[in-house]
Amino acid sequence: MAPITMIEGIRQAMFEEMDRDPAVVAIGEDIGVYGGAFKATEGLLSKFGRERVIETPISETAIVGAACGMGFLGLRPVAEMQFIDFIACCFNQVTNFVAKSHYLWGAPVPMVIRGPSGGGVHGGPFHSANPEMYFVHTPGLKVVYPSTPSDAKGLLKSAIRDNNPVLFFEHKFLYRRIKEEVPEGDYLVPIGKAIVRRAGDDLTIISYAAMAHTAMEAAEKLAIEGIEAEVIDLRTLLPLDRETILNSVKKTNKLLIVHEDTRTGGIAGEIAAIVCEGAFEDLDGPITRVTALDTPVPYAPTLEERFLPNTEKVVAAARELSKY
Amino acid sequence: MSNPLTREQHLDLYYFMQLNRQLEERMVRLFRQNKIVGGLYSSLGQEGVSVGTCYALEKKDWIAPMIRNIGALLVKGVPPRDIFTQHMAKYTSPTQGKDGTSHFGDLKVRHIVSPISMLGDLIPVMTGVAMAGRYLGQKIVALTWIGDGGSSTGAFHEGLNLAAQQGAPFVLIVENNQWAYSTPVSRQVPVKNLADRAVAYGIRSWIVDGNDVVAVYHTTKEAVDECRAGRGPALIEVKTMRMRGHAQHDPAEYVPKQMFEYWKARDPIALYEKYLTENKIWDAKTKAEIDARIERELDGEQKFAEESPMPPAELAEEGVYCEGCHAIEATWQRAKAEVSPPASSFEPGWEVKDYGAFAEVETIRKEIAAPAVSAPVGNAAGNGAKVSKPIVKAEGKPQPKPPVRAVESEAPEVPRVPFGRGPKDKSVREAQNPRDRRAHQNPRDKRGRR
């Protein structure tokens, strides 16, 4: 098979799942005639028609609410946020109603909310967010954040088939920058499983989404210096794959966590706590973080560059850590 | 007017209203005995709304109640023990103690979506239920309630607009009980009637006396029937009165005494009892039998609840995710092939009839330039708030039937006539239709304010 981009992987997942199951419908703004702001749903309307590709007014609360209601009748709606930043508009619907339904009154909500997230494309403070931790902190949701075309496709297909509400973050920097051959057939990637992207013995670097690539680049540079880093791509943030994290740290004894989300309350803190609880005796150095600054995402390239983690920052932190 | 109610149906309405009231009065006693774990919210005086609206639905239809819609739950077949156990946080309650009050649902049998305290959010949810029902060919109607207070939320607007844009079979009952906690309607919204808001969504609306259960039933039945026939969403403003504070802790001293007195004289159950007697639908013996039956039933249900255990502590850790505990299967009542390619395939593109607003602007310019006496009222009607022409002068005069613009093919007949129990019935003060815009136009004062 020819290599495909991440956006194409997402598009294929939508096509295949809608083809496979008429209970799957798409709902969102500009997702039909226009094919979505990033063309993730291009071609869906002509194949599946207006009943299944539902174009809405600019109403995130209504989109998520309606998708939830459809889920109650056994449909599997996939709701698009035009930019994931706008999920803040329907925060109540997601966190108070959708997320709590199963726990409180036994009502499963089989729906997906997907949308483009992340910075590095000069989108400015309202089109670059990484709001995943608001939702990682919300019991009842699953939060997925892939870094490759294959994972994007396989995880989105799994998300659509999941009986729980899944938030599916798509890093827009990766949409068209990387290509990869995607396994043929009905390719599924399980939710809740991290993957070791690179094996190494000297330290563990944990990351996800665009920063998973940054971590890999840093690991290659570190290898030249004789530091062998093991790189873990989380892929799913909730539920978190504790086992893969702990196994790696027990092997390398050092942990560096890299994320594009802001620092305070980012998932690095949670992972650090998990490692302290489960592998404290194995640690030979301080758990280290490379993250975005605790600021909104600034617009100017010089400012955004300062805001975001990059390979150099990761390499520098890894060097320091490896001295222990 | 819909088909008249049978004797049995009339007695049903009484039974459910009285059951609602007696159940809640028992809960007040339980609250005072410290047996209700959390808050207790009363629907005293609003029983006719919950019962009359829900009674107009079919078994397959879906509801999402609010906290004061216990009567609707009873009509839907929820046993009183579920209400008792929920309030008492018992393990035997529908949520097993995980939530209280009327916060529970039933997807499989009774088609009830659980309430949420953030008001308005159920409007989009029930819009989605209505859309899914239509998609699956189920011919259902989805109905929810919102208070005067909740009608100011953003979710109210987003949901109603989406419902209208989708033409969803969705009925919204705006339960105007005059008070949002301690704030009167006049301090919440600048419109006289909350039903006026329907104009902005291009949907049909009604106003009905909420303390007249028969009128509430017939109005809802008509709206539900039209909805089911594919005429899109409907809004019914039900005027009623919250006869207690927001919850048990609130003595409602902010409510003028005379207001309570006025509405007390219009108690929905007392009015209905009088109606049943005057129309010879029942006699004292029938009433006594029903009342005794209610007492008997509630005795058993309350006993069950009081004797039920609290949930085991470990339950707190269970049920965050659905991991195989529920099978999710849509109930198809149409052929799946209709929505599967190639049958569903579609040529993408928009049907834009008039290429934007320019033609409309020209029409409006001409209207404003023309003498008022020949004002083409019909152009103003049916298109929402497009024209700021002072057509309010028609108020108070007999309203001619406005020419209906061919905007939609399924325009209901206009203007609506009052309905209810008959021509002398005053319970329906003003029946409205979005196409009859004058009915919604509020008079402006001298400074041009509404």
Confidence (pLDDT) at B44: 96
Confidence (pLDDT) at B3: 72
In the residue annotation, A137 being an active-site residue is answered as: no
In a domain, A132, yes or no: yes
Does the structure show a pLDDT above 80 at B399? no
Does the structure show a pLDDT above 80 at B234? yes
In a domain, A185, yes or no: no
Those residues of chain A that have pLDDT short of 50 are none
From A198-202, B129-133, B331-335, B395-399, the region with the lowest mean pLDDT? B395-399
Catalytic pick from A102, A122, A127, A259? A127
Confidence (pLDDT) at B392: 31
What average pLDDT does the structure give for chain B?
Answer: 85
- Where do the structural domains in chain B lie, given as residue ranges? 7-317
Window B:158-197, CB contacts with A under 8 Å: 158-159, 161-162, 165-166
Residue B210 · residue B243 · CB < 8 Å:
no
| CATH number for the domain that contains residue A52 | 3.40.50.970
Q: Looking at A174, A209, A230, which one is the last position of a domain?
A: A174
In a domain, A25, yes or no: yes
pLDDT band at B347 (very low <50, low <70, confident <90, very high): confident
If asked whether residues A102 and A67 sit together in one domain, one would say yes
Q: What share of chain B in percent tops pLDDT 70?
A: 80
The stretch B223-246 carries a mean pLDDT of 97
If asked whether residues A109 and A205 sit together in one domain, one would say no
| CATH number for the domain that contains residue A301 | 3.40.50.920
CA dist B375 and B164 (Å) reads 28
In a domain, A189, yes or no: no
CA distance A33 to chain B (A): 5
Confidence (pLDDT) at B109: 97
Note the pTM of the prediction, 2 decimals: 0.89
pLDDT tens by residue, B129-170:
999 999 999 999 999 999 999 999 999 999 999 999 999 999
From B205-219, B343-357, B381-395, the region with the lowest mean pLDDT? B381-395
If asked whether residues A30 and A169 sit together in one domain, one would say yes
pLDDT tens by residue, A65-109:
999 999 999 999 999 999 999 999 999 999 999 999 999 999 999
Confidence (pLDDT) at B356: 67
Residue with tokens 């702990």: A246
Does the structure show a pLDDT above 60 at B400? no
In a domain, A190, yes or no: no
If asked whether residues A165 and A37 sit together in one domain, one would say yes
pLDDT tens by residue, B403-422:
333 333 333 333 333 333 33
Does the structure show a pLDDT above 80 at B402? no
Confidence (pLDDT) at B362: 76
Contacts of A71 in chain B (CB under 8 A): 128
pLDDT band at B313 (very low <50, low <70, confident <90, very high): very high
CA dist B70 and B81 (Å) reads 12
Give the one of A93, A97, A163 whose C-beta lies nearest to B326's C-beta.
A163
Does the structure show a pLDDT above 50 at B200? yes
If asked whether residues A230 and A108 sit together in one domain, one would say no
If asked whether residues A170 and A205 sit together in one domain, one would say no
In a domain, A74, yes or no: yes
Query: How many structural domains does chain A have?
Result: 2
Q: Looking at A174, A208, A238, which one is the last position of a domain?
A: A174
Q: Looking at A139, A174, A209, which one is the last position of a domain?
A: A174
For residue B173, with 0-12 CB atoms within 10 Å meaning exposed, 13-18 middle and 19 or more buried, which class applies? buried
CB contact under 8 A, B124 and A93: yes
If asked whether residues A225 and A169 sit together in one domain, one would say no
CA dist B17 and B49 (Å) reads 9
If asked whether residues A10 and A150 sit together in one domain, one would say yes
Task: For the beta carbon of residue B2, count every other beta carbon within 10 angstroms.
Answer: 14
DSSP states of B103-131: ---BTTTT-BPPP-SSTTTHHHHHHHHHH
Give the one of B129, B158, B324 whose C-beta lies nearest to A61's C-beta.
B158
Q: Does B335 touch chain A (CB under 8 A)?
A: no
Domain range for A244: 195-322
pLDDT band at B371 (very low <50, low <70, confident <90, very high): low
Give the one of A22, A32, A46 whose C-beta lies nearest to B339's C-beta.
A22
Residue with tokens 């209905």: B272
In a domain, A70, yes or no: yes
If asked whether residues A216 and A293 sit together in one domain, one would say yes
Query: For B7-317, CATH number?
Result: 3.40.50.970
In a domain, A186, yes or no: no
pLDDT band at B219 (very low <50, low <70, confident <90, very high): very high
Residue B373 or B348, more confident: B348
Contacts with B342 (C-beta within 8 Å, 6 or more apart), sequence order: none
CB contact under 8 A, B125 and A97: yes
